[in-house]
Amino acid sequence: MIEHGVLPKQLNAVAEVIEARSEEVVAAYEERLLAMKSPLIAEAETREQVMEQARAVLVEVVTDLRGREAAPDTQQREDSLSENIGVSRASGNVHAVHSLRAVVAFSEAALSVVVDNLPPSSSLGGEVAAVALTIQKIFMERVTRAALAYANYLLEKAHESHADERRRISRELHDRVAHSIMVAFRSLEIFELYRTRDPAKAEVRLELAKSTTQEALELTRSLSRELRSTSAEEGLEVALSDLLSVSVPQEIQSRVSVEGDESLVTPQVRDELFLIIREGIRNAVTHSRASRITVKVAISEILVRAVVEDDGRGFATGEKAPRDSGGTGLASMKERASLLGGTLNLVTVPGKGTGVEVFLPLPGSQR
Protein backbone atom coordinates (compact mmCIF):
# COMPACT_ATOMS: atom_id res chain seq x y z
CA MET A 1 0.00 0.00 0.00
CA ILE A 2 1.23 3.53 -0.78
CA GLU A 3 0.51 6.85 0.88
CA HIS A 4 -1.84 9.00 -1.23
CA GLY A 5 -2.26 12.20 0.78
CA VAL A 6 -6.06 11.89 0.43
CA LEU A 7 -8.53 11.17 3.24
CA PRO A 8 -9.53 7.49 3.66
CA LYS A 9 -13.21 8.41 3.20
CA GLN A 10 -12.46 10.00 -0.17
CA LEU A 11 -10.29 7.04 -1.25
CA ASN A 12 -13.04 4.65 -0.26
CA ALA A 13 -15.46 6.59 -2.48
CA VAL A 14 -13.04 6.20 -5.39
CA ALA A 15 -12.72 2.49 -4.62
CA GLU A 16 -16.51 2.11 -4.67
CA VAL A 17 -16.71 3.75 -8.10
CA ILE A 18 -14.01 1.48 -9.52
CA GLU A 19 -15.55 -1.62 -7.93
CA ALA A 20 -19.04 -0.80 -9.22
CA ARG A 21 -17.86 0.09 -12.70
CA SER A 22 -15.02 -2.38 -13.18
CA GLU A 23 -16.57 -3.92 -16.29
CA GLU A 24 -17.01 -0.46 -17.74
CA VAL A 25 -13.28 0.14 -17.21
CA VAL A 26 -12.44 -3.21 -18.83
CA ALA A 27 -14.66 -2.44 -21.82
CA ALA A 28 -13.09 1.04 -22.24
CA TYR A 29 -9.64 -0.56 -21.98
CA GLU A 30 -10.49 -3.12 -24.66
CA GLU A 31 -11.79 -0.36 -26.95
CA ARG A 32 -8.51 1.51 -26.62
CA LEU A 33 -6.49 -1.62 -27.41
CA LEU A 34 -8.65 -2.28 -30.46
CA ALA A 35 -8.19 1.31 -31.63
CA MET A 36 -4.43 0.90 -31.20
CA LYS A 37 -4.57 -2.40 -33.13
CA SER A 38 -2.63 -3.88 -30.25
CA PRO A 39 -1.22 -7.37 -30.93
CA LEU A 40 -1.99 -8.19 -27.29
CA ILE A 41 -5.60 -8.93 -28.23
CA ALA A 42 -5.05 -10.30 -31.74
CA GLU A 43 -5.72 -13.86 -30.55
CA ALA A 44 -8.66 -15.04 -28.45
CA GLU A 45 -6.39 -16.66 -25.86
CA THR A 46 -4.19 -13.60 -25.35
CA ARG A 47 -7.24 -11.30 -25.32
CA GLU A 48 -8.72 -13.35 -22.48
CA GLN A 49 -5.40 -13.19 -20.67
CA VAL A 50 -5.23 -9.40 -21.02
CA MET A 51 -8.78 -8.93 -19.76
CA GLU A 52 -8.14 -11.28 -16.83
CA GLN A 53 -5.15 -9.18 -15.84
CA ALA A 54 -7.17 -5.96 -16.15
CA ARG A 55 -9.84 -7.27 -13.77
CA ALA A 56 -7.16 -8.49 -11.34
CA VAL A 57 -5.47 -5.08 -11.38
CA LEU A 58 -8.78 -3.35 -10.62
CA VAL A 59 -9.35 -5.66 -7.64
CA GLU A 60 -5.86 -4.86 -6.40
CA VAL A 61 -6.39 -1.12 -6.91
CA VAL A 62 -9.60 -1.25 -4.86
CA THR A 63 -7.83 -3.24 -2.12
CA ASP A 64 -4.96 -0.75 -1.98
CA LEU A 65 -7.22 2.33 -1.93
CA ARG A 66 -9.07 0.85 1.04
CA GLY A 67 -5.80 0.39 2.89
CA ARG A 68 -5.81 -3.39 2.84
CA GLU A 69 -3.23 -6.00 1.86
CA ALA A 70 -3.86 -8.67 -0.76
CA ALA A 71 -4.19 -12.24 0.56
CA PRO A 72 -0.99 -14.34 0.08
CA ASP A 73 -2.73 -16.87 -2.16
CA THR A 74 -4.15 -14.05 -4.30
CA GLN A 75 -0.71 -12.47 -4.61
CA GLN A 76 0.81 -15.80 -5.60
CA ARG A 77 -1.87 -16.31 -8.24
CA GLU A 78 -1.30 -12.85 -9.68
CA ASP A 79 2.47 -13.39 -9.75
CA SER A 80 1.90 -16.57 -11.73
CA LEU A 81 -0.41 -14.73 -14.14
CA SER A 82 2.24 -12.05 -14.76
CA GLU A 83 4.88 -14.68 -15.45
CA ASN A 84 2.58 -16.51 -17.84
CA ILE A 85 1.91 -13.25 -19.64
CA GLY A 86 5.65 -12.62 -20.01
CA VAL A 87 6.17 -16.06 -21.55
CA SER A 88 3.13 -15.61 -23.77
CA ARG A 89 4.44 -12.28 -25.08
CA ALA A 90 7.85 -13.76 -25.83
CA SER A 91 6.57 -16.95 -27.45
CA GLY A 92 4.03 -14.94 -29.44
CA ASN A 93 6.76 -12.63 -30.72
CA VAL A 94 5.08 -9.54 -29.20
CA HIS A 95 7.53 -6.73 -28.47
CA ALA A 96 7.64 -5.48 -24.88
CA VAL A 97 6.75 -1.94 -25.97
CA HIS A 98 3.17 -3.09 -26.62
CA SER A 99 2.80 -4.04 -22.95
CA LEU A 100 3.89 -0.55 -21.90
CA ARG A 101 1.42 1.02 -24.31
CA ALA A 102 -1.28 -1.19 -22.83
CA VAL A 103 -0.48 0.15 -19.34
CA VAL A 104 -1.07 3.69 -20.59
CA ALA A 105 -4.34 2.62 -22.24
CA PHE A 106 -5.53 0.98 -19.02
CA SER A 107 -4.69 4.06 -16.95
CA GLU A 108 -6.60 6.28 -19.37
CA ALA A 109 -9.63 3.97 -19.28
CA ALA A 110 -9.71 3.74 -15.48
CA LEU A 111 -9.16 7.45 -14.88
CA SER A 112 -11.82 8.46 -17.40
CA VAL A 113 -14.41 6.29 -15.63
CA VAL A 114 -13.38 7.66 -12.21
CA VAL A 115 -13.57 11.30 -13.37
CA ASP A 116 -16.96 10.77 -15.03
CA ASN A 117 -18.54 9.14 -11.99
CA LEU A 118 -17.09 10.89 -8.93
CA PRO A 119 -19.07 13.88 -7.69
CA PRO A 120 -17.29 17.24 -8.07
CA SER A 121 -15.18 18.15 -5.06
CA SER A 122 -12.20 20.24 -4.13
CA SER A 123 -10.13 17.07 -3.69
CA LEU A 124 -10.98 15.52 -7.07
CA GLY A 125 -7.47 16.15 -8.39
CA GLY A 126 -5.95 14.36 -5.43
CA GLU A 127 -8.31 11.42 -5.81
CA VAL A 128 -7.48 11.03 -9.49
CA ALA A 129 -3.78 11.27 -8.69
CA ALA A 130 -4.21 8.59 -6.04
CA VAL A 131 -5.78 6.24 -8.57
CA ALA A 132 -3.05 7.00 -11.12
CA LEU A 133 -0.28 6.32 -8.59
CA THR A 134 -1.89 3.09 -7.45
CA ILE A 135 -2.34 1.82 -11.01
CA GLN A 136 1.24 2.75 -11.84
CA LYS A 137 2.59 0.94 -8.78
CA ILE A 138 0.57 -2.22 -9.36
CA PHE A 139 1.26 -2.40 -13.08
CA MET A 140 4.98 -1.73 -12.69
CA GLU A 141 5.24 -4.63 -10.27
CA ARG A 142 3.41 -6.86 -12.75
CA VAL A 143 5.40 -5.60 -15.73
CA THR A 144 8.64 -6.28 -13.85
CA ARG A 145 7.63 -9.89 -13.19
CA ALA A 146 6.44 -10.33 -16.77
CA ALA A 147 9.65 -8.77 -18.13
CA LEU A 148 11.79 -11.22 -16.15
CA ALA A 149 9.75 -14.14 -17.49
CA TYR A 150 9.99 -12.64 -21.00
CA ALA A 151 13.79 -12.35 -20.77
CA ASN A 152 14.21 -15.82 -19.25
CA TYR A 153 12.15 -17.33 -22.07
CA LEU A 154 14.30 -15.66 -24.73
CA LEU A 155 17.51 -16.70 -22.97
CA GLU A 156 16.28 -20.28 -22.80
CA LYS A 157 15.42 -20.27 -26.50
CA ALA A 158 18.79 -18.76 -27.39
CA HIS A 159 20.47 -21.49 -25.33
CA GLU A 160 18.42 -24.15 -27.15
CA SER A 161 19.38 -22.67 -30.50
CA HIS A 162 23.07 -22.76 -29.63
CA ALA A 163 22.69 -26.30 -28.29
CA ASP A 164 21.10 -27.33 -31.60
CA GLU A 165 24.11 -25.92 -33.42
CA ARG A 166 26.50 -27.91 -31.23
CA ARG A 167 24.46 -31.07 -31.78
CA ARG A 168 24.53 -30.51 -35.54
CA ILE A 169 28.31 -30.21 -35.56
CA SER A 170 28.53 -33.28 -33.34
CA ARG A 171 26.42 -35.22 -35.85
CA GLU A 172 28.64 -34.04 -38.69
CA LEU A 173 31.71 -35.25 -36.83
CA HIS A 174 30.13 -38.61 -36.03
CA ASP A 175 28.28 -39.33 -39.25
CA ARG A 176 30.72 -37.99 -41.81
CA VAL A 177 34.19 -37.45 -40.37
CA ALA A 178 34.22 -40.54 -38.17
CA HIS A 179 32.70 -42.62 -40.99
CA SER A 180 35.40 -41.51 -43.44
CA ILE A 181 38.12 -42.32 -40.93
CA MET A 182 36.59 -45.75 -40.30
CA VAL A 183 36.46 -46.47 -44.04
CA ALA A 184 40.09 -45.45 -44.37
CA PHE A 185 41.07 -47.64 -41.42
CA ARG A 186 39.25 -50.70 -42.83
CA SER A 187 40.77 -50.09 -46.24
CA LEU A 188 44.25 -50.05 -44.74
CA GLU A 189 43.50 -53.33 -42.93
CA ILE A 190 42.42 -54.92 -46.23
CA PHE A 191 45.49 -53.43 -47.92
CA GLU A 192 47.70 -55.19 -45.39
CA LEU A 193 45.79 -58.43 -45.95
CA TYR A 194 46.13 -58.37 -49.76
CA ARG A 195 49.47 -56.57 -50.13
CA THR A 196 51.36 -59.75 -50.98
CA ARG A 197 48.53 -62.04 -52.16
CA ASP A 198 46.72 -59.65 -54.49
CA PRO A 199 48.67 -56.42 -55.08
CA ALA A 200 46.01 -55.04 -57.49
CA LYS A 201 43.24 -55.36 -54.94
CA ALA A 202 45.54 -53.98 -52.26
CA GLU A 203 46.32 -50.93 -54.43
CA VAL A 204 42.59 -50.19 -54.83
CA ARG A 205 42.14 -50.28 -51.08
CA LEU A 206 45.14 -48.04 -50.54
CA GLU A 207 43.75 -45.44 -52.95
CA LEU A 208 40.38 -45.61 -51.17
CA ALA A 209 42.13 -45.07 -47.84
CA LYS A 210 43.89 -42.01 -49.28
CA SER A 211 40.72 -40.49 -50.74
CA THR A 212 38.60 -41.03 -47.62
CA THR A 213 41.39 -39.66 -45.42
CA GLN A 214 41.50 -36.57 -47.64
CA GLU A 215 37.71 -36.29 -47.40
CA ALA A 216 37.83 -36.51 -43.61
CA LEU A 217 40.51 -33.83 -43.56
CA GLU A 218 38.45 -31.49 -45.72
CA LEU A 219 35.34 -32.09 -43.61
CA THR A 220 37.30 -31.36 -40.43
CA ARG A 221 38.65 -28.14 -41.92
CA SER A 222 35.16 -27.13 -43.05
CA LEU A 223 33.68 -27.71 -39.60
CA SER A 224 36.56 -25.82 -38.04
CA ARG A 225 35.85 -22.85 -40.31
CA GLU A 226 32.17 -23.01 -39.40
CA LEU A 227 33.01 -22.94 -35.71
CA ARG A 228 35.04 -19.79 -36.29
CA SER A 229 32.40 -18.26 -38.59
CA THR A 230 29.58 -17.67 -36.11
CA SER A 231 29.58 -13.88 -36.36
CA ALA A 232 29.90 -11.12 -38.93
CA GLU A 233 32.24 -8.77 -37.09
CA GLU A 234 33.83 -7.56 -40.33
CA GLY A 235 30.44 -6.73 -41.83
CA LEU A 236 27.69 -8.76 -43.43
CA GLU A 237 28.88 -8.47 -47.03
CA VAL A 238 32.42 -9.59 -46.21
CA ALA A 239 31.27 -12.39 -43.91
CA LEU A 240 28.66 -13.67 -46.37
CA SER A 241 31.10 -13.57 -49.29
CA ASP A 242 33.58 -15.60 -47.25
CA LEU A 243 30.80 -17.98 -46.24
CA LEU A 244 29.77 -18.61 -49.85
CA SER A 245 33.35 -19.28 -50.88
CA VAL A 246 33.71 -21.86 -48.08
CA SER A 247 30.28 -23.48 -48.06
CA VAL A 248 29.21 -23.58 -51.71
CA PRO A 249 30.86 -26.11 -54.06
CA GLN A 250 32.64 -24.63 -57.08
CA GLU A 251 30.15 -26.15 -59.52
CA ILE A 252 27.34 -24.03 -57.98
CA GLN A 253 27.26 -20.34 -58.91
CA SER A 254 26.80 -18.05 -55.92
CA ARG A 255 26.40 -14.32 -55.41
CA VAL A 256 25.77 -11.97 -52.47
CA SER A 257 24.56 -8.37 -52.37
CA VAL A 258 24.07 -6.12 -49.33
CA GLU A 259 22.28 -2.79 -49.76
CA GLY A 260 21.79 -0.12 -47.12
CA ASP A 261 23.65 1.17 -44.08
CA GLU A 262 24.99 -1.73 -42.00
CA SER A 263 25.60 0.63 -39.07
CA LEU A 264 21.84 0.64 -38.48
CA VAL A 265 22.01 -3.05 -37.54
CA THR A 266 23.12 -3.84 -33.98
CA PRO A 267 25.87 -6.46 -33.57
CA GLN A 268 23.39 -8.89 -31.95
CA VAL A 269 20.91 -8.65 -34.85
CA ARG A 270 23.72 -8.78 -37.41
CA ASP A 271 25.25 -11.94 -35.95
CA GLU A 272 21.92 -13.75 -35.61
CA LEU A 273 21.00 -12.75 -39.17
CA PHE A 274 24.32 -14.16 -40.35
CA LEU A 275 23.53 -17.48 -38.66
CA ILE A 276 20.05 -17.55 -40.23
CA ILE A 277 21.49 -16.92 -43.69
CA ARG A 278 24.24 -19.47 -43.10
CA GLU A 279 21.61 -22.11 -42.34
CA GLY A 280 19.69 -21.11 -45.48
CA ILE A 281 22.81 -21.51 -47.61
CA ARG A 282 23.61 -24.86 -46.01
CA ASN A 283 20.07 -26.09 -46.69
CA ALA A 284 20.23 -24.98 -50.32
CA VAL A 285 23.57 -26.71 -50.87
CA THR A 286 22.46 -29.91 -49.15
CA HIS A 287 18.89 -30.31 -50.40
CA SER A 288 18.08 -28.19 -53.44
CA ARG A 289 20.30 -29.68 -56.19
CA ALA A 290 20.68 -26.10 -57.37
CA SER A 291 23.08 -24.68 -59.94
CA ARG A 292 22.79 -21.16 -58.52
CA ILE A 293 22.39 -19.69 -55.01
CA THR A 294 21.81 -15.98 -54.42
CA VAL A 295 21.88 -14.08 -51.13
CA LYS A 296 20.35 -10.59 -50.95
CA VAL A 297 20.23 -8.29 -47.91
CA ALA A 298 18.43 -4.93 -47.87
CA ILE A 299 18.71 -2.63 -44.83
CA SER A 300 16.39 0.30 -44.13
CA GLU A 301 16.00 2.44 -41.01
CA ILE A 302 13.31 0.16 -39.58
CA LEU A 303 13.86 -3.24 -41.16
CA VAL A 304 16.33 -5.77 -42.49
CA ARG A 305 15.15 -8.05 -45.28
CA ALA A 306 17.31 -10.99 -46.29
CA VAL A 307 16.64 -13.62 -48.95
CA VAL A 308 18.41 -16.88 -49.80
CA GLU A 309 17.26 -18.13 -53.22
CA ASP A 310 18.15 -21.19 -55.26
CA ASP A 311 17.10 -22.52 -58.66
CA GLY A 312 16.87 -26.11 -57.45
CA ARG A 313 14.15 -28.71 -57.37
CA GLY A 314 11.77 -26.98 -54.92
CA PHE A 315 8.77 -28.89 -53.61
CA ALA A 316 4.98 -28.79 -53.76
CA THR A 317 2.94 -26.61 -51.39
CA GLY A 318 1.84 -28.73 -48.46
CA GLU A 319 4.66 -31.20 -49.00
CA LYS A 320 7.13 -31.57 -46.16
CA ALA A 321 10.15 -29.43 -46.95
CA PRO A 322 13.17 -31.60 -47.83
CA ARG A 323 15.31 -29.30 -45.77
CA ASP A 324 13.15 -30.07 -42.73
CA SER A 325 13.51 -33.82 -43.05
CA GLY A 326 15.64 -35.32 -40.32
CA GLY A 327 16.98 -31.97 -39.14
CA THR A 328 16.17 -28.68 -37.48
CA GLY A 329 17.53 -26.29 -40.12
CA LEU A 330 14.33 -24.44 -41.05
CA ALA A 331 12.99 -24.67 -37.49
CA SER A 332 16.25 -23.18 -36.19
CA MET A 333 16.02 -20.31 -38.67
CA LYS A 334 12.43 -19.54 -37.65
CA GLU A 335 13.39 -19.69 -33.98
CA ARG A 336 16.26 -17.24 -34.42
CA ALA A 337 14.08 -14.85 -36.42
CA SER A 338 11.32 -15.04 -33.82
CA LEU A 339 13.74 -14.28 -30.98
CA LEU A 340 14.59 -11.02 -32.76
CA GLY A 341 10.93 -10.13 -33.25
CA GLY A 342 11.06 -11.04 -36.93
CA THR A 343 9.41 -13.44 -39.32
CA LEU A 344 10.61 -16.04 -41.79
CA ASN A 345 8.78 -17.11 -44.95
CA LEU A 346 9.42 -20.04 -47.26
CA VAL A 347 8.45 -19.70 -50.93
CA THR A 348 8.93 -22.65 -53.27
CA VAL A 349 7.83 -23.91 -56.69
CA PRO A 350 8.44 -27.52 -57.77
CA GLY A 351 11.24 -27.62 -60.31
CA LYS A 352 11.91 -23.89 -60.07
CA GLY A 353 13.63 -23.45 -56.75
CA THR A 354 13.12 -22.17 -53.23
CA GLY A 355 13.45 -18.83 -51.51
CA VAL A 356 13.79 -18.25 -47.78
CA GLU A 357 12.92 -14.67 -46.80
CA VAL A 358 13.51 -13.20 -43.36
CA PHE A 359 12.35 -9.84 -41.99
CA LEU A 360 13.93 -8.44 -38.82
CA PRO A 361 12.75 -5.16 -37.24
CA LEU A 362 15.37 -2.65 -36.16
CA PRO A 363 15.08 -0.67 -32.89
CA GLY A 364 13.63 2.39 -34.63
CA SER A 365 10.62 0.42 -35.82
CA GLN A 366 9.36 -0.09 -32.24
CA ARG A 367 9.19 3.57 -31.27
Amino acid at 268: Q
Question: Which one, of 353, 219, 226, 360, lies nearest residue 293 by Cα?
Answer: 353
pLDDT tens, 82-125? 666 666 666 666 666 777 788 888 888 888 888 888 777 656 66
Q: What is the mean pLDDT of residues 161-167?
A: 70
Q: Considering only 23-37, 192-206, 307-321, which range has the smallest mean pLDDT?
A: 307-321
Kindly give, in sequence order, each residue whose CB lies less than 8 Å from that of residue 16, ignoring residues fewer than 6 positions away: none
pLDDT tens, 233-284? 678 888 888 888 878 888 999 999 999 998 898 887 888 888 899 889 988 8
Query: What's phi and psi for 298, nearest 5 deg?
Result: -125, 125
Q: State the DSSP string of 247-303.
A: HS-TTSEEEEEEES-GGGS-HHHHHHHHHHHHHHHHHHHHHS--SEEEEEEEE-SSE
Query: What's phi and psi for 138, nearest 5 deg?
Result: -65, -45
| Backbone dihedral region for residue 133 (phi beyond 0: left; psi -120 to 50: alpha; all else: beta) | alpha
Which range has highest mean pLDDT (285-289, 296-300, 322-326)? 296-300
> Are the C-beta atoms of 113 and 21 separated by less than 8 Å?
yes
In the prediction, which pLDDT does 27 show? 92
229-367: what CATH class?
alpha beta
pLDDT tens, 126-141? 777 777 778 777 777 7
Q: Write down the domain spans for the chain.
A: 8-157, 229-367
| CA-only gyration radius of the chain, Å | 30
In the prediction, which pLDDT does 254 show? 93
- Tell me how many helices (H) and strands (E) the chain has: 11, 5
pLDDT at 286 over 90: no
CATH number 1.10.1760 is the correct assignment for the domain at 8-157: no
> Are the C-beta atoms of 358 and 342 separated by less than 8 Å?
yes
Cross-strand bridge partners of residue 303: 361
- CA–CA distance, 140 with 26 (Å, rounded to integer): 19
Q: Give the percent of the chain with pLDDT over 70.
A: 77
